[in-house]
């Protein structure tokens, strides 16, 4: 428990933020820009330190994107590495601590750590936020504005429960580079095909060259090729793939019903890369060509199927797969659970991205308004602080429910929602909001290419709004999920 947690049982703040991950820190950074050094702000999180999922995740994880674009607001890194450097877990956590230190210069910041959010209510124009500390005592904070930025609420994987006693089942959080698994020479089966699986395969392959490493890759995953999204050297001036035209074309191709066709276009696009033939899944991860080459060369085999169980048969363990196939593996083999975190477990309760009256903002996958939680936390808080959150007819989508039903429709829809809402906000927010967005990948490129993007955005955003609104309305009709403006804002369209 931090020292901040010893304040009075009921405290009043200008802003309360629940969630100390990338979404919550962006909300905090934005809110602080509208406040002064005497204004009180509260940050609440269930973990013992700031960092969100980065506190719990596996130790060899690195950022997908260059580190400058993973920050709170526009707070610069102090790492001293080149712009293309991919920060480690510990460097990310250090930067988050640096962000908190910087924000303490802007506002009077309190932290309630190791504290669970219980609920909130709006009473006479004031938001009352109820929390519970580690010792079980409830605390109430009142606020003028409240941001619930728990986002995905990602928890670490657990080892696969398998029937066989001849295999050992672990998770990446146990660190595959150390301990018993590292001392062993038995084959490894990485279960999963996403970014965690790629990181784990690369960690083992580079630490133990020649060891048998296999991947059970599900439906196969394709990634954005980092070398094209963030070209280096002279290619920054003329090469690579700027994000805006890529996502604009994606959105304009999607009509709300043709997700299979659009996702074939995405998978065949020069900006994507995979280690499996005909991959099906896309979760907006990034992979470089050198990483893909290292992983592909080091894997003994890649099986595109899903694990059901490991059973003993004829004295040997066998992988029991969803397709009905069985595959014998070596006794003593290791299973590493790298299955994804999306669309698993119980769903969070639905909450709209804004409350009536616009004093409460929520960042969750049940009411998604942007592609990334960091962008949601950034823009939703600007709207909150400007008093515009309950005025703009933004589209929200129940992305979690849609993703559980149809991955292709989910990917196309969240891109369309992102492009639609950014286009709507262009006419409603000050230009400084976009200029000071440190998350904006377009800023990787030189100024002349950024100016080209700005011109295209201003020229095309009206057509984008019209097209994506029609497509998203069809998503709601076809898939039967919440997708559209909140009912009380729909009349403003």
Q: What is the CATH number of the domain that holds 178?
A: 3.50.50.60
Report phi then psi at 130, rounded to 5: -100, 130
Query: What's the domain count of the chain?
Result: 2
Q: Indicate if 111 and 85 belong to the same structural domain.
A: yes
Q: Indicate if 309 and 354 belong to the same structural domain.
A: no
Q: Indicate if 326 and 363 belong to the same structural domain.
A: no
Whether residue 248 lies inside any domain: the answer is no
Q: Indicate if 366 and 411 belong to the same structural domain.
A: yes
Whether residue 227 lies inside any domain: the answer is no
Q: Indicate if 359 and 324 belong to the same structural domain.
A: no
| pLDDT of res. 342 | 74
Q: What pTM does this model have?
A: 0.94
Q: How far apart are CA 181 and CA 187, in angstroms?
A: 10
| pLDDT of res. 491 | 60
Whether residue 262 lies inside any domain: the answer is no
Q: Indicate if 326 and 352 belong to the same structural domain.
A: no
Q: Indicate if 29 and 132 belong to the same structural domain.
A: yes
Q: Indicate if 436 and 485 belong to the same structural domain.
A: yes
Final residue belonging to a domain, choices 282, 317, 337: 337
Sheet of 301-303: strands edge to edge?
168-170, 334-337, 188-191, 213-216, 301-303
- The dihedral through the CA atoms of 178, 289, 344, 91 has a sign that is positive
Whether residue 34 lies inside any domain: the answer is yes
Q: Indicate if 364 and 449 belong to the same structural domain.
A: yes
Whether residue 251 lies inside any domain: the answer is no
| pLDDT of res. 134 | 87
| pLDDT of res. 152 | 76
Report phi then psi at 297, rounded to 5: -70, -30
| pLDDT of res. 3 | 41
User: Is 393 within 8 Å of 423 (Cβ atoms)?
Assistant: no
Please give the residue range of the domain that contains residue 214.
168-222+274-337
Strand duo 301-303 + 213-216: pairing: parallel
Q: Indicate if 74 and 97 belong to the same structural domain.
A: yes
- Per-residue b or e along 313-336, where b marks 16 or more CB atoms closer than 10 Å to that residue's CB: eeeebbbbbeeeeebebeeebbbb
Q: Indicate if 331 and 376 belong to the same structural domain.
A: no
Burial of residue 238, with CB atoms counted within 10 A of its CB: 0-12 exposed, 13-18 middle, 19 or more buried:
exposed
| pLDDT of res. 157 | 84
Residues of the chain with pLDDT under 70: 1-10, 341, 343, 488, 490-493
Final residue belonging to a domain, choices 282, 307, 337: 337
- The dihedral through the CA atoms of 170, 176, 179, 181 has a sign that is positive
Whether residue 50 lies inside any domain: the answer is yes
Q: Indicate if 382 and 444 belong to the same structural domain.
A: yes
């Amino acid at each position: 428990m931090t020292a901040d947690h010893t304040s009075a049982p009921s405290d009043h703040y200008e802003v309360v933020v629940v969630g100390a991950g990338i979404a919550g820190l962006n909300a905090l950074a934005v809110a602080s820009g509208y406040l002064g050094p005497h204004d009180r702000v509260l940050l609440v999180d269930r973990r013992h330190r700031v960092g969100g999922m980065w506190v719990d995740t596996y130790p060899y994880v690195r950022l997908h994107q260059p580190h400058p674009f993973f920050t709170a607001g526009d707070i610069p890194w102090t790492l001293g590495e080149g712009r293309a450097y991919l920060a480690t877990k510990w460097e990310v956590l250090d930067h988050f601590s640096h962000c908190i230190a910087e924000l303490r210069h802007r506002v009077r910041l309190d932290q309630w750590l190791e504290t669970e959010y219980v609920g909130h209510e709006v009473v006479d124009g004031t938001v009352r936020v109820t929390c519970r500390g580690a010792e079980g005592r409830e605390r109430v904070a009142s606020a003028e504005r409240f941001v619930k930025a728990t986002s995905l609420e990602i928890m670490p994987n657990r080892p696969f429960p398998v029937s066989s006693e001849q295999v050992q089942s672990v998770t990446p959080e146990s660190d595959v580079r150390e301990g018993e698994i590292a001392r062993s020479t038995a084959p490894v089966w990485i279960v999963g095909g996403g970014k965690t699986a790629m990181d784990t395969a690369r960690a083992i392959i580079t630490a133990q060259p020649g060891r048998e490493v296999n991947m059970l890759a599900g439906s196969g995953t394709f990634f954005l090729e980092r070398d094209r999204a963030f070209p280096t050297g002279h290619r920054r001036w003329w090469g690579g793939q700027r994000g805006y035209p890529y996502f604009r074309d994606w959105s304009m191709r999607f009509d709300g019903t043709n997700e299979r066709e659009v996702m074939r276009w995405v998978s065949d696009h020069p900006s994507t890369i995979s280690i499996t033939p005909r991959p099906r899944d896309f979760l907006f991860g990034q992979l470089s060509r050198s990483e893909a080459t290292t992983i592909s060369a080091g894997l003994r085999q890649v099986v595109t199927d899903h694990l059901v169980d490991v059973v003993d048969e004829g004295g040997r363990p066998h992988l029991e797969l969803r397709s009905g196939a069985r595959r014998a593996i070596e006794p003593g083999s290791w299973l590493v659970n790298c299955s994804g975190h999306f669309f698993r477990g119980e769903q969070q309760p639905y909450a709209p991205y804004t409350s009536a009256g616009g004093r409460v903002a929520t960042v969750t996958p049940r009411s998604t308004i942007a592609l990334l939680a960091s962008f949601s936390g950034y823009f939703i808080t600007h709207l909150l602080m400007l008093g515009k959150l309950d005025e703009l007819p933004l589209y929200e989508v129940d992305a979690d429910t849609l993703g559980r039903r149809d991955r292709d429709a989910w990917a196309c829809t969240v891109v369309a929602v992102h492009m639609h809402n950014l286009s709507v906000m262009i006419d409603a927010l000050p230009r400084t909001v976009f200029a000071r967005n440190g998350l904006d990948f377009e800023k990787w490129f030189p100024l002349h290419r950024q100016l080209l993007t700005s011109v295209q955005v201003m020229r095309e955003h009206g057509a984008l709004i019209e097209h994506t609104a029609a497509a998203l309305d069809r998503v709601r009709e076809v898939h039967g999920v919440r997708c559209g403006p909140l009912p009380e804002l729909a009349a403003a369209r």
